[in-house]
Amino acid sequence: MRDSFGEMLQIRSVGGAVNDVPPEATAYAHRHQNFSVTAVSRHDQAGFDAGWSVVRESMDGIYLSFESDQAPERVRDAFPPATLERLRAIKRAWDPDGIFDQNFDVTPLSDVAPLVT
């Protein structure tokens, strides 16, 4: 069980000045928390993921700079709907050709080609 916990757990205090910025002022909208929790595992990834899923259920929002899971759900966890729409509008205006594609995908859903099966 110890191995499934991971090699690193970090709890950062993020209240104070972080919470003073209005949520809609930046892409980082989840500013009401008092702590940021980060954990890393290199070995028993399945066990770690199972344990972390229990923790994730108690959390509200994520900070993508510390996230390695690039599933579409993580983008929705990171950005409230209004913030995500704002980022998608910026992406559409400033990167219509998708040149910047090495991070979490905020491509507007209407711009994504449907999957052909």
Does some domain include residue 14?
yes
What integer pLDDT is reported at residue 110 of this predicted model?
62
- Are the C-beta atoms of 101 and 70 separated by less than 8 Å? no
Does some domain include residue 116?
no
Domain of residue 67 covers: 2-111
DSSP for residue 64: G
What integer pLDDT is reported at residue 111 of this predicted model?
56
What integer pLDDT is reported at residue 45 of this predicted model?
80
- Are the C-beta atoms of 58 and 26 separated by less than 8 Å? no
Does some domain include residue 60?
yes
Does some domain include residue 69?
yes
What integer pLDDT is reported at residue 34 of this predicted model?
87
What integer pLDDT is reported at residue 117 of this predicted model?
47
b/e 87-112 (16+ beta carbons within 10 angstroms → b): bbeebeeeeeeeeeeeebebeeeeee
Number of domains the chain is built from: 1
pLDDT, block means (10 residues), the chain with 117 residues: 66 88 89 86 82 84 82 86 91 90 77 48
Does some domain include residue 8?
yes
Does some domain include residue 10?
yes
Does some domain include residue 92?
yes
What integer pLDDT is reported at residue 6 of this predicted model?
66
